[in-house]
Amino acid sequence: MTVDQTYLRSVPPPPLLDRESKASVSLNVSILSILDIVEVDNRFSLQFELAVTWFDRRVTMIDLHGDADLNTLTSGFRDQIWMPQVVFSNTNDKDETIGDDKVCLATICAIRNCYLDLV
């Protein structure tokens, strides 16, 4: 992976299409397990996997494999790029996504387009 010297990690990528005002970020939630349901409090707990996908034309991927599962970034590279932050505002502690070692960052590449997929 390479990034231009002018790349700013704190700045989101530009929109993919001219008619958009912001970069598009897609979210996919897979519920792995329902841990607890408390009907009287209207509360539940669950374990889930969150997949976040976006396109950043400022990042150039190199030495990609045909199998997207093999295209993962080390934490050193991951720390160089912008990643969307997801805030779960309806949780007790207003939990947020963090880019730590528990995050798997993979690339899914089509011809001339590299999408970043955060799982």
pLDDT at 114 over 80: no
Give me the domains of the chain, ranges plus CATH numbers: 2-118 (2.70.170.10)
What is the rounded CA–CA span in Å between residue 105 and residue 1?
12
What is the rounded CA–CA span in Å between residue 107 and residue 60?
11
Per-residue pLDDT of 75-95, as tens digits, reads 777 888 888 888 888 888 888
Per-residue pLDDT of 22-73, as tens digits, reads 888 888 899 999 999 999 998 899 888 888 888 888 888 777 777 777 777 7
